[in-house]
Amino acid sequence: MDREAPPKVPPKSILRTSTPSLHAPSSASTIAPSLSRQQPPSSNLQQQEQPQSQPHSKASPDPHHLAIALHHAHRIQAQKDAEALILSRILELVTLPSSPSADPASPSAADVATLRAALAPFQSSDYDNLILERNIEGRCGYALCPREHRREDHKGNFRILWGPKSSGSGGRGREMKIVPREKLEMWCSDSCVKRAMYVRVQLAEDPVWERRADDRRAKEITLLEEPRPLKGTNTTTRKMDDQVVKGGEDSTSRSEYAGDQTASATATTTLPLRGIKMSFKDLALERGDSNSAFRDGRVDVQVTEREISHDAAVAPPMPGPEYRHGGSIEGYTPKGQSSPRGDGSD
């Protein structure tokens, strides 16, 4: 436990709660254990009835206990304030976008600014609460999308989604994905899933009241880079979306792509992907996490939920010859157990 010097604030104001008058006496006495019995009789005539119950005793409590109590009170208050702030932000973001005809692929600069500013204190669980609230109001879970969320007519808790041709394992057949119905119903379209998840993975994992003051993570939320739809051909748009979010390890082709696109792309408000990549690198350094591919990798997994076959063919780990007989157990190698089935080689 870390004990800091007690901040110089009177305890009463820190321990404020939703029903102040009720809580004040009890919290005051927690902090300042009532020593009033040892007090000299008060001359105040008003106190004839119950002089002992006077909550504001003059006897000073153990300063060490007081310090701990204050420290905890401050933490609790910080948490409460943050939760209240996040709730008001959720209520604000439920009403976005500002125009009912807004296009989630090219949102207005004002809405983007609102979203980025509002998300600063969010954790991913707060973001999920936002999605839920939007869905309850019938809207797509992505905050910049004005459309309604999908509603599946059929009963049943799962849906099967088929990928494009030759997306199955080994490049044959179609890839099959089983998705819980309520997951599908959070959005208006697959594009919005990607947009929303692209934001979600950038949110901080620790609550805002535990972050350092110079934490940069939340301030740098970027939106999914999107090409302007080409003559309304939906399929090309979708394909491009795929490419944008695809490249986890394939970072060079991705930033090239981003470079090509930035000229024509919508966004004055969004950063080019190269920028994002840089900020992730900084971030990883700052956190002592040397493997900067981690976050990109997460983007890939979270967004597409699908292994792309050509570069994702990872060979299964091959057991070396020393493992032919099961290897060692905590350093001890069992002897003379050459089982015929344990042969790993083909």
Partner 1 sequence: MDEDYSSGSQDAEREMARLWRTWRTVFEMLQDRGYEVTEEEVQIPFEQFKTKYSDGLGYPDRNKMKVSARPTEAMKAKYTPVKSKSNPNPQPECGTVYVEFCPDPTAVGTKQVRTFNHFVDEQNFHTGIFITQTPISPSAVRLLSGIPDRICEHFQEQDLLVNITRHELVPKHVLLSAEEKVRLLERYRLKESQLPRIQVSDPVARYLGLRRGQVVKIIRRSETAGRYASYRWVI
Question: Can you tell me which of 27, 167, 255, 279 binds partner 1, judged by CB under 8 A?
Answer: 27
Distance CA 15, CA 61 (A): 17
Query: How many amino acids of this chain bind partner 1 (CB under 8 A)?
Result: 37
Closer Cβ to partner 1, 90 or 218, answer by number: 90
Binding flag, residue 145, Zn ion (CB under 5 A): yes
CA-to-CA separations, 199 to 107, 128, 183, 262, in angstroms, rounded: 14, 11, 17, 19
User: How many angstroms from the chain centroid is the CA of residue 156?
Assistant: 29
Query: Least Å distance between CB 231 and Zn ion?
Result: 21
Distance of alpha carbon 144 from the chain centroid: 18
Confirm or reject binding of residue 84 to partner 1 (CB under 8 A).
yes
Residue 93 contacts Zn ion per CB under 5 A? no
Is 52 a binding residue for partner 1 by CB under 8 A? The answer is yes
Rule CB under 5 A: choose which of 119, 140, 223, 303 binds Zn ion.
140
Nearest approach in angstroms of CB 35 to partner 1 is 10
Asked if 207 is part of the footprint of partner 1 (rule: CB under 8 A), the reply reads no
Interface segment toward Zn ion; rule CB under 5 A; list 25-33, 143-151, 286-294, 296-304: 143-151
Does 49 contact partner 1 by CB under 8 A?
Answer: yes
The rounded distance, in Å, linking the Cα atoms of 74 and 94 is 30
**CA 7 – CA 45 distance, rounded (Å):** 36
Rule CB under 5 A: is residue 120 a binding residue for Zn ion?
no
* Nearest partner of 242 among 257, 231, 256, 252, judged by Cα: 257
Q: Tell me which of Zn ion, partner 1, none is bound by residue 188, counting a contact when its beta carbon lies within the kind-specific cut-off of 5 to 8 angstroms.
A: Zn ion
* b/e sequence 261-299, b meaning 16+ C-beta within 10 Å: bbeebbbebbbbbebbbebbeebbeeeeeeebeebbeeb
Cβ count within 10 A of residue 173: 13
Q: From residue 128 to residue 147, what is the string marking binding to partner 1 with x (rule CB under 8 A)?
A: -xx-xx-xxx----------
38 binds partner 1 (CB under 8 A): no
- Enclosing H/E stretch for 196: helix 190-200
Residue 133 Cα distances to 6, 136, 244, angstroms: 39, 5, 28
Instruction: Work out whether 18 is an interface residue with partner 1 (CB under 8 A).
Output: yes
Selection from partner 1, Zn ion, none that 192 binds (CB < 5 to 8 A by kind) is Zn ion
Query: Could you tell me the two tokens for 64?
Result: 């060490």
Residue 149 Cβ, how far from Zn ion at the closest point, in Å?
Answer: 7
Rounded Cα distance between 174 and 185, Å, is 23
Amino acid at site 336: G
Which one, 2 or 49, has the nearer CB to partner 1? 49
Q: Which of 188, 221, 271, 273 binds Zn ion (CB under 5 A)?
A: 188
DSSP reduced 3-state for 108: coil
Per-residue DSSP letters for 279-340?
HHHHHHHHTT---THHHHHHHHHHHH-S--HHHH-PPPPPPPGGGTT---BTTB---S---G
Among 4, 7, 13, 47, binds partner 1 (CB under 8 A): 47
User: Nearer to partner 1 by C-beta: 33 or 334?
Assistant: 33
Q: Is the CB of 30 or the CB of 269 nearer to partner 1?
A: 30
Residues of span 29-88 touching Zn ion by CB under 5 A: none
Q: Which of 147, 153, 112 is nearest to 271 (CA)?
A: 112
Q: Tell me the window of 22-30, 166-174, 253-261, 315-323 that interacts with partner 1 (CB under 8 A).
A: 22-30
Closer by beta carbon to Zn ion, 188 or else 240? 188
Cα separation, 26 vs 212, whole angstroms? 33
The pair of three-digit structure tokens given for residue 189, joined into one six-digit string: 């379209």
* Member of 4, 56, 158, 174 binding partner 1 (CB under 8 A): 56
**Which residues make up the interface to partner 1 (CB under 8 A)?**
17-23, 25-27, 29-30, 33-34, 44, 46-47, 49-50, 52-56, 83-84, 87, 90-91, 94, 129-130, 132-133, 135-137
